[in-house]
């Protein structure tokens, strides 16, 4: 791996570029981004060594690349897969950092691309190249959902990811999406729903603002997450997310109907058990 | 106020004792607790100056007190109100630190006691006198739900609470319970329900444990709360809590049915608005 094209030089893409440099990668990293400003910030930070700022430059960068990294939202990844394919050189590897994997895996199989779907589970509350850090992935899970046995170039990419300090985990794409629905998408949707409900019910109540404490702050923190980050996840993982939401609705109903019975003790006991494992 | 009896010398009661000392109170503070160990710890910490360890000693302490503070769970407060009444001296003030206020206010009115219902909104993840601190209430809301115009002794108690560094807020008891259902009880019940659901669905899944991040940790932190702390709250605030749970169930259903529509954007937008106010 000597030439890399990074499509998307926001928080994740620029952090991957910085992590590559920190790990000793000395080849070229050419950035592509819808925002010229993000490209400039990423280049100034040293996350990319060059910018491709028009379709001709994009094609040139891609055709020269050993590895193309797609670090944009999921729908944009699906879109870029079609746009880069005509320019990929023989043997080039495409990988990504998308939050859902099943639809991307299906598309990659259909296209017959050498594609290693990836998902670094790291981030910050706000995006952008300015917040990028080479240490972003240290200690974080980086999930791969491989579509075929590992090729030498894929192994090289996996080795770099290992050098970022990430914990590499392999999962089936559908299993990835179901697990992420439980551990990431459900908590987000619950926080958003509860925060939106609070806005409607008591958003302008000064007394309420005065008495809310840590529990309220914590359970609504994810309520600040922007729709733009979650739209593609909801669109490409609808059924697993809907399953988890329905299960929680039923659980809340059960709790509501049992506030005065020993069933409530069972619920607290089960929750305590989950926490005691971690 | 020269003589205080503190009924319940766990985290809250012992912290009130220490806060009184820090604020310059030099009278007696006699502790009563179901646990002899808690009494000993509180006395050693200087939170109380004496312990009353049997019914005769209890009666003696109460009959000598200007102020009796009930710092036990809500059902125990209701119980102690009946037990102390025969021993209260003329003009003595009773106040409490219970998490719900409507049932306590009703009982106090029925008994014709001089009672100032209070609720310091402070705490820690674990209880016990050993964790008590005089600074526990600094910056925290301390809600009163007064039943009549403030008497001189009530004003003196309010002044001490002000010296603890707490932000004193007066509310109607029913309004207190409704607001607390939104800002405290709903977040707790949701976290417990979601954590119990995760335990049932994926509690023993090692992959899941490996990929859960901050969102999961944060949204399930309250899942570690013990039933013993929440039983009395659920029992004495059932209707307001059930109302908030039903509203959230409906909101989650709406979200589930709109994962692919622009309604989801509305929900994120409302949640963002709530967060931008705080």
So what's the pLDDT on residue B209?
73
**A166, A179: one domain:** no
Out of A182, A225, A226, the one facing B198 most closely (by C-beta) is A182
Give the mean pLDDT of B147-166: 98
pLDDT of A259 above 70: yes
**A237, A139: one domain:** no
A246 vs B contacts (CB less than 8 Å): 256
Out of A193, A222, A260, the one facing B255 most closely (by C-beta) is A193
pLDDT of A255 above 90: yes
| Lowest mean per-residue pLDDT among A152-166, A179-193, A210-224, B62-76 | A210-224
- Kindly provide the ipTM of the predicted complex, given to two decimals: 0.92
Q: Which of residues 181-210 of B touch A (CB under 8 A)?
A: 182-184, 186-203, 205, 207-210
A218 vs B contacts (CB less than 8 Å): 187, 218-219, 221-222
Question: How sure is the predictor about B165, in pLDDT bands with cuts at 50, 70 and 90?
Answer: very high
**B112, B189: one domain:** no
**3-class SS at A70?**
strand
B207 vs A contacts (CB less than 8 Å): 169, 171, 175, 179
Residue A152: domain span: 3-171
The per-residue DSSP string of B216-238 comes to HHHHHGGGGS-HHHHHHHHHHSH
SS3 content of chain B, % helix, strand, coil (to 5): 60, 10, 30
pLDDT of B191 above 90: yes
**A164, A232: one domain:** no
Q: What is the CA radius of gyration of chain A?
A: 21
Q: How far is CA B269 from CA A167, A180, A192, B275, in A?
A: 34, 23, 9, 10
pLDDT of A209 above 80: no
Question: Do the Cβ atoms of A183 and B121 come within 8 Å?
Answer: no
**A167, A180: one domain:** no
pLDDT 10s digits, B83-111: 999 999 999 999 999 999 999 999 999 99
**B190, B64: one domain:** no
Closest by alpha carbon to A80, among A57, A101, A102, A108?
A: A108
Residue at a domain's end among B171, B202, B219:
B171
Q: Looking at the complex, does the CB of residue A275 fall below 8 Å from at least one CB of chain B?
A: yes
Residue A15's H or E segment, with its range, is helix A11-22
Nearest CA in chain B to A182: B198
pLDDT 10s digits, A31-44: 999 999 999 999 99
Q: What is the mean pLDDT of chain B?
A: 96
**B137, B194: one domain:** no
pLDDT 10s digits, B36-79: 999 999 999 999 999 999 999 999 999 999 999 999 999 999 99
Task: Identify the bridge partners of residue A168 per DSSP, sorted by sequence position.
Answer: A142
**A65, A149: one domain:** yes
So what's the pLDDT on residue B24?
98
So what's the pLDDT on residue B278?
67
Q: Which residues contact B86 (CB under 8 A, 6 or more apart)?
A: none
Question: How sure is the predictor about B123, in pLDDT bands with cuts at 50, 70 and 90?
Answer: confident
Instruction: List the CATH number of the domain containing B220.
Output: 1.10.3660.10
Residue that has been written with the tokens 């999406």 in this structure: A177
Q: Looking at the complex, does the CB of residue B50 fall below 8 Å from at least one CB of chain A?
A: no
Helix axes A186-202, B263-277, angle to 10 degrees: 70
**B26, B86: one domain:** yes
Out of A198, A218, A247, the one facing B218 most closely (by C-beta) is A218
So what's the pLDDT on residue B168?
96
**B120, B195: one domain:** no
**A137, A219: one domain:** no
Question: How sure is the predictor about A235, in pLDDT bands with cuts at 50, 70 and 90?
Answer: very high
Size of interface A-B (CB pairs under 8 A): 284
**A247, A148: one domain:** no
pLDDT of B244 above 80: yes
Residue at a domain's end among A171, A186, A210:
A171
Give the mean pLDDT of B14-22: 98
Nearest CA in chain B to A276: B224
So what's the pLDDT on residue B16?
98
Residue that has been written with the tokens 């106040």 in this structure: B95
Quote the pTM value: 0.92
Distance, in Å, from the CA atom of A105 to the CA atom of A115, rounded to the nearest integer, reads: 8
Distance, in Å, from the CA atom of A256 to the CA atom of A119, rounded to the nearest integer, reads: 37
Burial class (CB in 10 A: 0-12, 13-18, 19+), B106: middle
Report the C-alpha dihedral over residues A158, A162, A164, A168, rounded to 10 degrees.
80
A259 vs B contacts (CB less than 8 Å): 234-235, 238, 241-242
So what's the pLDDT on residue B197?
97
A196 vs B contacts (CB less than 8 Å): 251, 266-268, 270-271, 274
Instruction: List the CATH number of the domain containing A143.
Output: 3.40.50.720
Count of domains in chain B? 2
Residue at a domain's end among A130, A148, A171:
A171
Give the mean pLDDT of A154-170: 97
So what's the pLDDT on residue A241?
98
pLDDT 10s digits, A87-143: 999 999 999 999 999 999 999 999 999 999 999 999 887 889 999 999 999 999 999
So what's the pLDDT on residue B213?
85
């Amino acid at each position: 791996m000597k030439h890399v094209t990074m499509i998307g030089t926001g928080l994740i893409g620029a952090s991957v570029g910085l992590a590559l440099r920190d790990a000793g990668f000395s080849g070229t990293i050419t950035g592509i981004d819808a925002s010229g400003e993000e490209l400039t910030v990423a280049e100034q930070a040293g996350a990319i060594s060059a910018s491709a700022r028009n379709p001709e430059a994009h094609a040139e960068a891609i055709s020269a690349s050993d590895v193309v990294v797609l670090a944009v939202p999921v729908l944009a990844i699906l879109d870029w897969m079609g746009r880069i394919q005509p320019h990929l050189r023989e043997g080039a590897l495409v990988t990504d950092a998308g939050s859902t994997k099943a639809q991307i895996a299906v598309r990659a199989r259909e296209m017959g691309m050498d594609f290693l779907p990836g998902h670094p589970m790291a981030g910050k509350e706000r995006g952008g190249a300015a917040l990028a850090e080479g240490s972003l992935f240290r200690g974080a899970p980086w999930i791969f959902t491989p579509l075929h046995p590992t090729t030498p170039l894929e192994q090289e990419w996996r080795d770099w990811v290992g050098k970022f300090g990430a914990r590499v985990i392999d999962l089936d794409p559908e299993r990835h999406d179901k697990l992420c629905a439980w551990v990431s998408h459900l908590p987000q949707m619950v926080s958003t729903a509860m925060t939106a409900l609070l806005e409607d019910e008591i958003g302008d109540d000064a007394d309420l603002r005065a008495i809310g404490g840590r529990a309220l702050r914590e359970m609504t923190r994810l309520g600040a997450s922007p729709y733009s980050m979650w739209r593609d996840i909801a669109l490409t993982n609808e059924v697993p997310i809907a399953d988890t939401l329905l299960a929680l609705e039923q659980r809340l109903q059960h709790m509501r109907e049992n506030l005065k019975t020993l069933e409530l003790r069972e619920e607290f006991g089960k929750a305590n058990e989950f926490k005691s494992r971690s």
